[in-house]
Structure 1
Amino acid sequence: MCLLTGCGAKAQKQEAALKDNRNMIIIAHRGLSGEWPEHTLEGYQAAIDEGADFIEPDLVLTKDGILVARHENEISETTNVAAHPKFADRKTTKTIDGVKYTGWFTEDFTLSELKTLRAKERLPQLRSTAKDGQFLIPTFEEILILLKSVNNGRSVPIGVYPETKHPSYFASIGLPHEGELLKLLDEYGYRGSNAPVFIQSFEVGNLRALRQKTDLPLIQLLDGEGSPADMPAMRYADMIAPDGLKDIATYANGIGPNKNMVIPRNMIGNLAAPTALVSNAHQAGLKVHPWTFRRENYFLPLSMKSGINPKSIGDLAAEIQAFKDAGVDGIFTDNTPEAAKLLGKEAL
């Protein structure tokens, strides 16, 4: 029986295309980040309501060893910590992965102290700040509780896609991610290679260590320049060569590349021809989930901008379609509604 009106060849082709679109997953990058402050339970719920397949929390640790969701462990950009006089003396400078940062860091706060802060918009120059100050910093366990609630009765559950942020740094200060991460995932029923979860990292060592402890799906994140913080002699550019992808496949189930590694931009800022990365990754048995798709002109290819105002909304659907045509298996996006509309997931 056809899902679409009629059962002719055209309708069957449309039905097949719809099923194909639904197999390309939407990863809600830090929630519905184009409209809500990043990493809030409310933002995750909004993304789920709009058709996300996975929600993505970046995980850092508190002084008392609790996994919480923040873009970085330095929290002045994403919380109102600077407005709390009682925490003024916590401001400090640290070197993390070879880079100096000045601000306030989650590892210097207990969970109860962090719960006195409120989230704020990380990109106020591009996005509304109307929701600033309204929402708490969630723990990873609270995120899993949210998913348990929304998945009640669903035949296809909404998945979770946690990133371990700066894992070697946190391990060096006695706060490793892995034990608490795997404990919580197991406690909330995420077990086996088909569980609705992907654990991601820009580093290599912690993914290799995780593979020895779990068969949950793992994703190696990749950037267009630089190297993994824990293996500075290994360039990301070398990791996407065929032999590098084969090596990744020995410990991970997929890659999360900077989207420019899949389709680069030419000298004037338009999309160029796709590289061989998707084909080579698929030959190695790896899924490909590029990042990050955003609707503001500031982030879009030249031909997909709506004008010169960087805050204005451009043609994100056209960019996503180009990557779908290139064969990617999913995308990280701040704008789930636009992706869901294109991929026919609004009613799922």
Structure 2
Amino acid sequence: MTKHAPSHPLIIGHRGACGYRPEHTRAAYELAFALGADAVEPDVVATRDGVLVIRHENEISGTTDVADHAEFKERRTTKRIDGAELTGWFTEDFTWAELSTLRARERLPGLRKSSASFDGDYPIIRLRDLFEIIDEAAVDAVRPLGMVAEIKHPTYFESIGLPLDELFAAEVNEAGWNEGDGRLVIESFEQSVLKQVYSRGIYGKRVYLIEASGKPYDQVAQHGSAAASYADTLTEAGLYGLAGQVDGISVDKALIVETDAAGAVIGASELVDSAHAAGLEIYCWTLRPENKFLAKSFRSSTVAAEFGAWQSEFGLIMRTGIDGVFADHPDLALAVRDGL
């Protein structure tokens, strides 16, 4: 079947189609492609025995039934991850064989009750499983299908003897995904791990994730209070400084949607144009239709789970010329893109 190039911008299924199924499950990823996503986004963390699993965080009590497993009760602990203290159950304290006994749960059950109805139906999956899912989906697809893999907490994991760059490179090569064919994008909030992965001969696009505030933890670990902030990266000098080091940036949508002091939307910022002028691609996260997540001007009511004027917000962002968007409901983002 002839493969057609995807339209612009790329629609990336955020954690799969996590608006409809519990995130990072086989069902969420398969549904994302069935709904028209061009790519999907896994978050990558590690087990004690060095298996890369797909969870948004290494703390898993919010998205699995681990707390219901009496055999794992004593694994609950408190750790400091990227400078923040967290209590719960952590992937690095389990083997893959142990984690494979868990079942996924909806992260936002009060907001997404339909997705929560699938709680307990799906197991956790590994990165290697997702490579296979995409390869299988691509057989019948009429468009290229890709992966935008986010490497989570690499400085922390390296500190405990689990170098994610090394583990990730091995998985990519084993899966046959290091062909330089454009299917693979690697992203992280820590630029250092993007360099490390590249140095291991993994040649997917490198995308630097940028928060609306704060500082990247790898820089904090190295420079302390003198570390540069994410905001420093978004200056003209900062963007031009990234050129050649990464292929693009991915930012909180709050940096794309410009608001006034009262929170009313007044248009789009100039960040997309600035990134393009510096020779960088630019993506944003996360397009969601519920009032809880929309900018104030696009909310239809005070009911958090009710859909607001999502078409208006999605359209505003896409009309900036942005290269890709992450969406919990890929079909909704696709509908807006098709209407541009």
What TM bracket, shorter-length normalisation?
A: over 0.9
CA contact (8 A) 1:61 1:68 kept: yes
| 1:225 partnered with 2:208 | no
Say which of 112, 136, 144 aligns to 1:149: 136
> d(CA) in 1 for partners of 2:271 and 2:228?
18
Deviation at 1:46, TM superposition (A): 0.6
TM-score w.r.t. the length of structure 1 is 0.90
Residue of structure 2 equivalent to 1:15: none
TM (norm. structure 2) is 0.92
Change (3 A) 1:36 1:20: same
CA displacement 1:187-241 (0-9 Å, x = unmatched): 3332355421110000121112223233220100000100100112110000011
Which residue is equivalent to 1:169? 156
Match of 2:182 in 1: 195
Residue 186 of structure 1: how far off its partner (Å): 2.5
Retained in 2: the 8 A contact 1:21–1:343?
A: no
Instruction: Name the SS for the 1:245 alignment partner.
Output: helix
Matched, 1:319 2:304: no
| Equivalent AA in structure 1 for residue 125 of structure 2 | P
The residue type equivalent to 1:23 in the other structure is H
Q: Is the 8 A contact 2:48 2:95 kept in 1?
A: yes
Deviates most, 134-143 or 278-287? 278-287
Secondary structure, in 3 states, of the residue corresponding to 2:187?
strand
2:69 corresponds to which of 84, 89, 99:
84
Q: What is the rounded CA distance, in whole Å, between the counterparts of 1:168 and 1:289 in structure 2?
A: 24
How do 1:202-281 and structure 2 match up within 5 A? 202-213=189-200, 214-232=202-220, 233-281=227-275
Name the CA distance, whole Å, in 2 between partners of 1:315 and 1:335: 14
Amino acid in the other structure paired with 1:185: V
1:30-179 correspondence to structure 2 within 5 Å: 30-128=15-113, 129-154=116-141, 156-179=143-166
1:185 matches 2:172: yes
Runs of 5+ consecutive residues of structure 2 not aligned to the other structure: 221-226
Conserved? CA contact 2:5–2:144, under 8 Å: no
Q: 1:218 to 1:234 in 2, by over 3 A?
A: same
**What is the CA distance between 1:155 and its match in structure 2?**
5.2
2:277 to 259, 262, 283: 283
The aligned residue for residue 9 of structure 1 is none
Query: 2:275–2:281: 8 Å Cα contact kept in structure 1?
Result: yes
Residues 269 and 125 of structure 1: is their aligned pair in 2 closer, same or farther, counting only changes over 3 Å?
Answer: farther
Q: Structure 1 pair 146/20, CA: closer, same or farther in 2 (3 Å)?
A: closer
Q: Which has the higher strand share?
A: 2
Give the conservation status (yes or no) of the 8 Å contact 2:318–2:337: no
Q: Rate the CA distance shift 1:320–1:301 in 2: closer, same or farther, 3 A.
A: same
Q: How many residues align?
A: 327
Q: Give, as a single letter, the amino acid of the residue that structure 2 aligns with 1:341.
A: A
Q: Does 1:310 align with 2:298?
A: no
Residue 21 of structure 1: how far off its partner (Å): 8.4
Specify the alignment match of 2:223 in structure 1: none
Give the aligned residue type for 1:29. H
